Structure 1
C-alpha cells in the first residue's frame, strides 16, 4: 500500500466516510431488519413483505413514527433474477411504494400520485437484466442495485379502518419470475477486522457487491490508498501501516462530526422548518414515478454525498418532497419553546393545498415519541371527523394538555404532553404553493386557555 501524507490520508478517509455512510448505515439497517425486525415490523427474509398490524401508538418503539399511514416493508434480492410485484386496488385511497437502492437513493414510486390506485403487476428487474417482459405487467422498474428496499405506506383513518388496510396488505405480493438461487443474507464482512476499522470493512465489501453509478465510481476511485477497492481477503485484519490505521480511525471521527454538523438545526426560529429538497441526492437513476428534473437534483455531486449521509443518519428512507413533506417546529410565534405548561392555537385561514391529505402529529421532546392521552388522539388533520370550521372556512387547532371546555375547541383539540413538545405537520402530495414557499404555515400562538377563554374541562 503506497505511503501517503498522513493528513492527506485523514482527509481522504473523512471523505470516504461521508460518501459511504449511507451504504453502510442503510444495509446495516436492512440486516438488522431481517434478523430482529424494526419497531412493530417482525424479522423478515428477502423478497417477503413485513406488515405493521396496527397504527402507531405511544407503545411503538420508533422515533417520530408516522401515525397517518401503516407500513409494509420488503427488502428485495434481485441477484437471482427479477421479481413480479402485485399491488391491489385501493379504490382511490392514498398509498405509496417507495423504491430505494442500496445507496439509499429513491429511484421509483408506485402509488396514488405516481401510478394511480388501480390493481396491477410491476416487474422489478436487476441491473443489466435483458430478459422478456410479461405482457400483463403495467411496467418495468429497473433497479440500480441488486438489493432494493421497498417502503410501503397505506393511509389509515383509525383503528376501525385497519380491516381495510390489512386486506390490502394481504394482496401485496412478490413472486420470482425465473428459477434461480437467492441469497439469504448480505455479503459478510470479515469478522476478524478490529472494531475501529469495521465501518471501512463493511464499506469495502458492500461497495464491491453493490456498485454505484458510473459517476460515483469515478469519485470512489480516489479511495484506493485506503484499501477500499481491494478485492479478496480483507486488508484490515492485520494492518502494518500505522499511518493508514490512524487515517481511518481519525477520518471516521471527523466524518461523523461533519455529518452531525450538517444535520444540526439551530431550532431558534419562530416558524416551521421544512425542506422539500432534503432527498434530492439521487442524481443518476430515475424510474417509474420518480421525477427527472433539475428542480429535484442537488446540483453539486459532492454536496449531494453530504446531504445523503446526513439523511441516512437522521431520516432513513424518507420520500422526495413531491411525494410528501414534513414541517416541524419547537417554538411559538414569540420564539419561546413549546411546552405543555401553556396553551396554543394554530389558525389556518385556509388549509394546506395538498393533493392527498395533511395532518399534524404531536411528539414529545427529547424522545420524539407519540404522546399518550385519554382521548387517544395523536394527530389531527383534514381526515379527522367532527372538526369545527369557521364561517369563512378557517380552522383553528387547539394544542394543550387538558381538554378545552368549549365544544368547538374540544373538537379541534390536539393533546400535548406536560413538558416540551414538537408538532410535525405532514403534507402528502404537496401543491406547488407549498413546494415554492408561497403558502406559509402560521406559527403557533400562545393562548390564555385551550378554548380562548381560559376555561378547562377536567
Structure 2
C-alpha cells in the first residue's frame, strides 16, 4: 500500500522536474533571443560613443549636431568593420531632443554621394543623395518623433523636405565618392557645403549623449538595459521589450557594472556563437563562392522617410529573420546601406569550394558589364576581424575608377589575389594576408533592373 501511495508522488515529482526543465529551457531561449535582438543596439551605442572619443583617426572627435569630416579615405588604423575606401566620410550625431535641426546640402554637380540616417537600432530610415534626391543644393528639416507641424513653426523651405527620425537620437553618415573627382580639394569643398543648424537652442552642438552610459564596464546586459530606458523599440518588437523587462530587472543584474545572472551569461555566449557562425560564412555554399548581401540591410520594417523605400522586396517579411540579419549586419557591416543604395557580395571560397587563404594565389575575372550606375570596387579584408589588411603597398581595393585599372579586350577586369607581389604585373593586384581573407565586391547605386540577377564570377585558385 505504501508503494502505491509513493508512486504517484514520484510521478508528480518527475512531472514537476520536467516542467522546471522546460521552463529553464524556455527562459534560456528567450534570453538568447533577447541578446541577438539587443546586440545591434549595444554595438551601435558603443560605436557612436567611440567615434565621439576619437576612435577613428580620420574623423577626429565626432560632435553632436555638427559634421566631422574625414579629409582622407579610410586606412588600416581606422579600425572599423568592412570599411569602404572609395569615399570620403563625414559623420554627425543628431540630437533632436530640444527640437528640429536644419540640414543644408550643396550642389555636387553630379558627383555621387549618399547621406544616410540611422536610428539607435541601426535601422536606416532616410537617404539623401544622387539616387534618391539628386545632386542639386537644398535644405531639409530633421525632426524627432514628437514633432508636429501644427504646433511648430516650419521654415518655408521645408515643404516636402521633412526627414522624420523615429528617435530623438540619430546618426548621419555622409559618403562622397572619390570616383571621377577633379581633386581632393574639390571633395573637401563639397564636404564643407553639408551644414547643420540648430533651430531651437543656440548652444548647439550639444554634449555627448552617452556620458551616462555604462560603457567602460563592457557589460552587455547593463548597457542594453540603459539603452532600453532611453530608446523605444520599433513598434512591432514589443514582445522582446517584455522579455527584457522580465530578465533585466535591477535586482537580477545587480550593480551598474556587475552581471550575476548565469542564464544571461550563457545566453550571451550562445548568441555570440550564433552571430559569429553566420559572420564567418555560416556554412554558405553558393555556386560561385560569393554570397549576396543585397537583402542583409533590409531589416527596417516600420520607419521610412525621404529616400527609404517602403516596398515589400526591400523589407524582410519575417521579423525574427530581420532581428538575426540586423545582428549579423552589426557584426560584419555596421552602418551599411540598403541594397538599393549599395549592393555587396562577399567571398569565402574559391570556385572549388575551398576556403580562401593568402598563402595561395587566386584570379578573379569580373565580366562586363557590372550593374553599377555610380562605381564598383573589390576590397580585401582580414578575417575574422573584417579590417583593412595593412600592407607595404598601401593597396586595399581595385575600383572601376582606378586610373591604372587594366581591362581585358572584352571589357572584363582580371584581379590577382596573393600575399607576394606578382612578377608580371601589379596593376590589378590585391595583397592578401597569409591567413584567411574575405574580399567584398561593392556596387554603388546599382541598376535595380539587373542587380538581383547579377552574380560575380568565381575566384579561381592558381597553381
Superposed, 1:330-349 pairs within 5 Å as 330-349=348-367
In 1: Cα distance, 2:267 partner to 2:414 partner: 50
Match of 1:37 among 44, 51, 55: 55
Q: For 1:55-105, what per-residue CA distance to the aligned partner results, in whole angstroms no more than 9, with x for missing partners?
A: 223444444322111111111111011111111111111111111011111
* TM-score, length basis structure 1: 0.83
| 2:226 equivalent in structure 1 | 205
Aligned residues: 432
CA RMSD of aligned residues (A): 3.2
Q: For 1:365-386, what per-residue CA distance to the aligned partner results, in whole angstroms no more than 9, with x for missing partners?
A: 5554445566654322221124
| 1:360 equivalent in structure 2 | 378
Establish whether residue 441 from structure 1 lines up as the match of residue 444 from structure 2: no
CA contact (8 A) 2:365 2:415 kept: yes
| 2:421 equivalent in structure 1 | 402
| 1:221 equivalent in structure 2 | 242
User: How far 1:293 sits from its partner (Å)?
Assistant: 0.8
Instruction: Mark the CA change 1:365 to 1:299 in structure 2 (over 3 Å): closer, same or farther.
Output: closer
Match of 1:139 among 148, 161, 170: 161
In 1: Cα distance, 2:436 partner to 2:274 partner: 28
Look up the SS of the partner of 1:214 in the other structure: coil
| 1:451 equivalent in structure 2 | none
In 1: Cα distance, 2:439 partner to 2:171 partner: 28
In 2: Cα distance, 1:284 partner to 1:167 partner: 36
Match of 2:312 among 272, 281, 294: 294
Look up the SS of the partner of 1:215 in the other structure: coil
Establish whether residue 251 from structure 1 lines up as the match of residue 267 from structure 2: yes
User: How far 1:357 sits from its partner (Å)?
Assistant: 0.8
Superposed, 1:164-243 pairs within 5 Å as 164-179=186-201, 184-186=207-209, 198-227=219-248, 234-235=250-251, 238=254
User: How far 1:295 sits from its partner (Å)?
Assistant: 0.6
In 1: Cα distance, 2:77 partner to 2:351 partner: 31
In 2: Cα distance, 1:120 partner to 1:411 partner: 40
Instruction: Mark the CA change 1:294 to 1:63 in structure 2 (over 3 Å): closer, same or farther.
Output: closer
Instruction: Mark the CA change 1:203 to 1:362 in structure 2 (over 3 Å): closer, same or farther.
Output: closer
* TM-score, length basis structure 2: 0.82
Look up the SS of the partner of 1:153 in the other structure: strand
In 2: Cα distance, 1:170 partner to 1:281 partner: 32
Q: For 1:94-151, what per-residue CA distance to the aligned partner results, in whole angstroms no more than 9, with x for missing partners?
A: 1111110111111111111111111111111011201232112360100001100111
In 2: Cα distance, 1:338 partner to 1:279 partner: 25
Look up the SS of the partner of 2:92 in the other structure: strand
CA contact (8 A) 1:351 1:395 kept: no
CA contact (8 A) 1:41 1:50 kept: yes
Q: For 1:216-241, what per-residue CA distance to the aligned partner results, in whole angstroms no more than 9, with x for missing partners?
A: 2354224332245xxxxx445648xx
In 1: Cα distance, 2:392 partner to 2:217 partner: 47
User: How far 1:389 sits from its partner (Å)?
Assistant: 3.4
CA contact (8 A) 1:91 1:118 kept: yes
| 1:148 equivalent in structure 2 | 170
In 2: Cα distance, 1:447 partner to 1:10 partner: 47
Instruction: Mark the CA change 1:435 to 1:351 in structure 2 (over 3 Å): closer, same or farther.
Output: closer
What runs of 5+ residues in structure 2 fail to find an aligned partner? 1-19
CA contact (8 A) 2:167 2:232 kept: yes
Instruction: Mark the CA change 1:420 to 1:30 in structure 2 (over 3 Å): closer, same or farther.
Output: closer
Look up the SS of the partner of 2:380 in the other structure: strand
Establish whether residue 430 from structure 1 lines up as the match of residue 451 from structure 2: no
What runs of 5+ residues in structure 1 fail to find an aligned partner? 229-233, 449-458
Instruction: Mark the CA change 1:284 to 1:412 in structure 2 (over 3 Å): closer, same or farther.
Output: same
User: Which deviates further from its counterpart, 56-65 or 73-82?
Assistant: 56-65
User: How far 1:154 sits from its partner (Å)?
Assistant: 0.9
Instruction: Mark the CA change 1:14 to 1:343 in structure 2 (over 3 Å): closer, same or farther.
Output: closer
In 1: Cα distance, 2:213 partner to 2:383 partner: 39
In 2: Cα distance, 1:394 partner to 1:252 partner: 46
